[in-house]
Structure 1
Amino acid sequence: MSTTSPLVSIVTPVYNNADHLEECIESVLAQTYVNWDYTIVDNCSSDGSAEIARRFAEKEPRIRVRENKRFLSALENHNVALRYISPGSTYCKVVFGDDWIFPECLEKMVSLAEKHPSVGIVGAYALEGTQVRWTGLPYPSDVTSGREICREHLLRDLFVFGSANSVLYRADLVRRRDLFYNETQMNADDEVCFELLKNCDFGFVHQVLTFTRVRPGSMSAISGNMQTSFPGFLNILLTYGRDYLTAEEYKARLHRHVCEYYRFLGKSVLLNHNTTFWDYHMTWLAELGVGFSRARLVKGTLQTLLGALLNPKDSVGRLLKRRYNQRWADRKFDHGTSELLFRSIGQNSTEKRSSSDAKQ
């Protein structure tokens, strides 16, 4: 690959990733695309992560290391890292410190974006542990209008944006935003896609190009245990639904999601979640203007029990297994995790929603 190709600025926000950081950095060094620079931003790690990064920087001039003077939240550190992208870069790639990218990642993503100047975000399949994620777009569709892909996400649950680790951004889109990620939202990587795709298209490479590690305590693991996707999607729908949907579509989708949310909460009653789980969801329902309804919760619980009665062998067994797994996950749920989840509540910078919309 010629060095006259567009410059890609890669950033890795790091906090105590010493166990996996070498693998992350080596995956960048192994790229078939060579015109890149790489900034690693250490967030006051205590496990030697900064030393590992500096060791690589001493050997590779394209790598530079920055160290925060004070500890930041994860999303604050992500935003700081993105401010270090080079002014001459055409593209920006985030690679998390405990994840990595396949050798052809940059080459394939940049190639697609170069062929289609209207594309502002490029995604691809990702390997999450042993599972291939972000499937759903029919092959060989490689470019979808921003409006259409967001409509598919909202109306038909087509989740192809993935995480920041699985996409490539045009660098000018990053530079235009003072805070690229909304630091008050756990699902900020989804939210920024909806914001950017108002004015650009979405590209997709039908190939596994990134790896996401599944480990306890990571943001993705916390989100999975707490099912932050339910309030996260509700926030996306309330914030961007009118931008992408007709009035009738918006009203129907909002009603359906609130019903789905309460069915999930009803099932959660039977899983014996801890108080942090309930505080989180009840607080976000209030924050988003929906409010917490005991009647809807009872209805959701009864629907779960009815389903178990109609299919007792399958449903009860799965429910007992999930209850055991959840109790095990709750034991690992410490005060630091609680702080991460609740840091944003009460600081939500999005405009207040009308109660007539939210209480569908």
Structure 2
Amino acid sequence: MPEISIITPSYNSSKYLDETINSVLNQTFKDWEWLITDDCSTDNSVEILEEQNDPRIKVFKAKKNGGAGHARNISLENATGRFITFLDADDFWESNFLEEMVNFMKSENAELAYSTYSRCDENLNPTIGDFEADTIVNFNNLLRTCRLSLLSSMYDSKRVGKFYFPEGTKREDHVMWLELLKKIPQGKPLKKTLSKYRMLPNSVSRNKSNIMKDQYLVYKDYMKFSTLKSLYYTANWAFNGFIKYSKIFN
């Protein structure tokens, strides 16, 4: 069994796949498996993935287009590594990401950890300041803002089990992290910049106004909060999202 399982959904990602693939192949830590599920792409993403001549890379094909959460769950079902981490098909890791994260998890006896990441344009040029891993994350502060980005986080499935993504919501990552932090007390910050996030203008996470309802349902439907409590946390999330991405504060 590999030490690390990397989970990736892919959908029409051919434009960035080569850079993402190289960022994984260039990792200094080599004991990993990479489980990529293609979500019924209509471009040549599958062809690019299947050209990779590395037995650690395992490509799956979703039977229907079910979204990123559905694709991640297919990969998770087949994952065998102790440490679970995530990388979307348009993101990028520095070559020491896996090594630094695993060493940190072990030295800190952490069940969950996250690191600082760069926020870049589509050419991986920084656009605003790095998102700093400077706060211990727990369930209560994660309700107000999702500090855990998939591309910069890792958890120990040997200790906490696997956590799957709810389907049918655009906020599946936030729900998953909340469910995990119901079970464990905290996630620890590694204050090193180890990855690059492409802030594409059409990405779901960037269009805050379009997903306000989905965020409200995180609290109302998934956390089972009252309407008033759900509105309160939605307002907190929206305010913190503005602070997170506004160039005024970065």
TM-score band (shorter)? 0.7 to 0.9
Indicate the residue corresponding to 1:69 in structure 2: 63
Indicate the residue corresponding to 2:152 in structure 1: 166
Alpha-carbon distance, 1:79 to partner: 1.2
> Is 1:114 aligned with 2:101?
no
TM-score, normalised to structure 2, is: 0.78
Indicate the residue corresponding to 1:137 in structure 2: 134
Q: Following the alignment from structure 1 to structure 2, what is the Cα–Cα distance between the partners of residues 259 and 168?
A: 28
Alpha-carbon distance, 1:150 to partner: 2.4
Indicate the residue corresponding to 1:100 in structure 2: 92
Alpha-carbon distance, 1:90 to partner: 1.0
SS at match of 2:51: helix
> Is 1:214 aligned with 2:199?
yes
5+ residue gaps, structure 2, are: 121-126, 240-250
5+ residue gaps, structure 1, are: 139-143, 243-249, 264-360
Measured on the aligned residues, the alpha-carbon RMSD in Å equals: 3.3
Q: Tell me which amino acid in the other structure corresponds to 1:185.
A: T
Among candidates 163, 168, 185, match of residue 184 of structure 1: 168
Indicate the residue corresponding to 1:128 in structure 2: 119
SS at match of 2:101: helix
Indicate the residue corresponding to 2:77 in structure 1: 83
Q: Tell me which amino acid in the other structure corresponds to 1:122.
A: A
Alpha-carbon distance, 1:193 to partner: 1.4
Quick check: 2:152–2:195 contact (8 Å CA) kept in 1? yes
Quick check: 2:133–2:190 contact (8 Å CA) kept in 1? no
My pick for the range that moved more, 11-20 or 60-69, is 60-69
Quick check: 1:38–1:63 contact (8 Å CA) kept in 2? yes
User: Do the aligned partners of residues 168 and 18 (structure 1) sit closer, same or farther apart at CA in structure 2, a change above 3 Å counting?
Assistant: same
Q: Tell me which amino acid in the other structure corresponds to 2:165.
A: Y
Aligned residues: 232
Indicate the residue corresponding to 1:202 in structure 2: 187
User: Do the aligned partners of residues 252 and 70 (structure 1) sit closer, same or farther apart at CA in structure 2, a change above 3 Å counting?
Assistant: closer
User: Do the aligned partners of residues 29 and 194 (structure 1) sit closer, same or farther apart at CA in structure 2, a change above 3 Å counting?
Assistant: same
Alpha-carbon distance, 1:208 to partner: 1.6
Quick check: 1:173–1:196 contact (8 Å CA) kept in 2? no
My pick for the range that moved more, 121-130 or 12-21, is 121-130
Quick check: 2:116–2:133 contact (8 Å CA) kept in 1? no
Indicate the residue corresponding to 2:26 in structure 1: 30
Please identify the structure whose Cα radius of gyration is greater.
Answer: 1
Runs of 4+ in 1 over 6 A off after TM superposition: 250-253, 258-263
Alpha-carbon distance, 1:14 to partner: 0.6
Indicate the residue corresponding to 2:140 in structure 1: 151
Between Structure 1 and Structure 2, the one with more strand by share is: 2
Q: Following the alignment from structure 2 to structure 1, what is the Cα–Cα distance between the partners of residues 195 and 117?
A: 5
| Deviations 1:236-279 (CA, angstroms, capped at 9, x unpaired) | 3785498xxxxxxx99966755777999xxxxxxxxxxxxxxxx
SS at match of 1:96: coil
Between Structure 1 and Structure 2, the one with more helix by share is: 1
| Deviations 1:75-101 (CA, angstroms, capped at 9, x unpaired) | 211211221212xx1101111111111
Quick check: 2:7–2:76 contact (8 Å CA) kept in 1? yes
| Aligned pairs for 1:1-360 within 5 A | 7-56=3-52, 58=53, 60-86=54-80, 89-117=81-109, 119-129=110-120, 130-135=127-132, 137=134, 144=136, 149-154=138-143, 157=144, 159-162=146-149, 164-172=150-158, 175-177=161-163, 180-200=164-184, 201-221=186-206, 223-226=207-210, 228-229=211-212, 231-232=214-215, 235-236=218-219, 240=223, 256-257=232-233
| Deviations 1:159-184 (CA, angstroms, capped at 9, x unpaired) | 4212x22211223478545xx01113
TM-score, normalised to structure 1, is: 0.56
